[in-house]
Structure 1
Amino acid sequence: MSTNPNEPKIGLVLLAAGGSRRLGRPKQLLTYRGESLLRRAAKAALASQCSPAVVVLSASVEELGSELAGLRLLTVVNPDWEEGIGGSIRTGVTALNGEAPELDAVLLALCDQAVIEHRHLDSLVEAFCASHPPVAASRYGDTFGAPAVFHRSLFGDLGQLTGDQGAKKIIFRHLQSTVFVDLPEAGVDIDTEEDYARLTSSPDSH
């Protein structure tokens, strides 16, 4: 986080509670460049300008906690993880707000965006700090979404998400005033074995 007292204070919620239904095994434990996707994403979160960082896990995979050994994140379990990503966002934002009620914004990041690094997260932080929009979101391919920064005024909306409703519906609601950052790396996410095979066969995978 910036030491400038006038800059917004932005926390981070790393969403890592997905059930990996299409993959058939926990995507959080897939390895890329010698580390699990969960540990890579957690380290990127901690290296970013955001603080504090909260990671949301499911109760279904006991090994997930050990992947975070030695990392200074707040870990919370979403007991209703099977409900979908909406409940995990709700759980993470609530925990983050309890830990740091003075925050101006939250950055939502996804565990399965395997090539996202801290500099990508920081580009969103910088876009938010430049103009203080309601949302600063990633744009990739012909779509947009996470990672994205949401102003504190939207914490209530994030806390009301349910089921498989992600935060994109909130971005749609504020589309005209959202700042977009072109981030093609955000388009690389792992949902299937084919996705993972593409990732690990790329020249950058080792």
Structure 2
Amino acid sequence: MKNEIRTGVIILAAGSSSRLGQPKQLLEFKGKTLLEIAVEAAQNSLANSCVIVLGANADLIVEKIDHTKVDRVVNVNWENGMASSMQKGLKYLMENSDPDQVILMLSDQPFVDSKILNSLIKNKLNTNSEIIACSYYGTFGVPVLFTKKYFPELLSLTGNEGAKKLVIAHQDDLHTIDFPLGAIDIDTMEDYQRLKSGS
């Protein structure tokens, strides 16, 4: 039976990776770029649609991911903060695939795979919660699923406000899934070296 609830995935990849000094979306791990890993996770999941939001270094990144056949939008205002990129992706999905819920994910969490995304989707079906987030090391965060109920609030965030602000504000409507490896993201060259060395 096909799942009638439509899920869209927004991959946020608009940042300039200023702390790293090069586009982290294109760092390689196990033979693939971090962005390719994110795209494959979305494409192999139960989600119905997916969009990458690019910003800084968009041309360079597009060149490298052209083969992935994934929808993409460019947020020219990426410097305004994460909220504008998230909204760019959400508006694109609302106009093009009318999702009932969206999953927000980043392009620098190398251990996010289709199983984690499917777990968010399945947990939504099995709970009454309208927000399903990953939890790691005493906090919660992305990937995170929001139902349509929260689209207006997502669209009203500003600056560097991210999805976490909504998750914290609506813990009464939150279900979390345990994902310790979600704590691993790549912000600095040290993070990347640790990832590659497996430490």
Q: What TM-score bracket applies, with the shorter chain setting the length?
A: over 0.9
TM-score (norm 2): 0.95
Which residue does the alignment assign to 1:134?
130
Deviation of 1:132 after TM superposition, in Å, equals 4.1
Which residue does the alignment assign to 2:17?
20
Which residue does the alignment assign to 1:96?
93
Secondary structure at the aligned position of 2:67 is classed as coil
Structure 1 consecutive aligned stretches of length 4 or more whose deviation exceeds 4 Å: none
Unpaired segments ≥5 residues, structure 2: none
Alignment counterpart, residue 113 of structure 1, candidates 101, 104, 109: 109
Larger deviation, residues 172-181 vs 123-132: 123-132
The one-letter code sitting in structure 1 at the alignment partner of 2:131 is V
Q: Distance in 2 between matches of 1:130 and 1:67?
A: 38
TM-score (norm 1): 0.92
The one-letter code sitting in structure 1 at the alignment partner of 2:136 is Y
Once superposed, what is the RMSD of the aligned Cα atoms?
Answer: 1.4
Alignment counterpart, residue 179 of structure 1, candidates 148, 161, 175: 175
Equivalent pair of 1:87/1:162 in contact (CA under 8 Å): yes
Which residue does the alignment assign to 2:3?
4
Q: Distance in 2 between matches of 1:132 and 1:38?
A: 32
Secondary structure at the aligned position of 2:182 is classed as helix
Unpaired segments ≥5 residues, structure 1: none
Deviation of 1:75 after TM superposition, in Å, equals 0.5
Deviation of 1:59 after TM superposition, in Å, equals 4.6
Equivalent pair of 1:27/1:190 in contact (CA under 8 Å): yes
Secondary structure at the aligned position of 1:138 is classed as strand
Which residue does the alignment assign to 1:67?
64
Deviation of 1:104 after TM superposition, in Å, equals 1.1
Secondary structure at the aligned position of 1:62 is classed as helix
Which residue does the alignment assign to 2:139?
143
C-alpha distance after superposition, 1:145-199 (max 9, x if no partner): 1100001011111112221111000101111220000011211100111110110
Number of residues of Structure 1 aligned to a counterpart in Structure 2: 199
The one-letter code sitting in structure 1 at the alignment partner of 2:148 is R
The one-letter code sitting in structure 2 at the alignment partner of 1:26 is P
Tell me, yes or no, if structure 1 residue 199 matches structure 2 residue 195.
Answer: yes
Which residue does the alignment assign to 1:155?
151
Matches within 5 A, 1:28-67: 28-67=25-64
Equivalent pair of 1:39/1:67 in contact (CA under 8 Å): no
Which residue does the alignment assign to 2:75?
78
The one-letter code sitting in structure 2 at the alignment partner of 1:4 is N
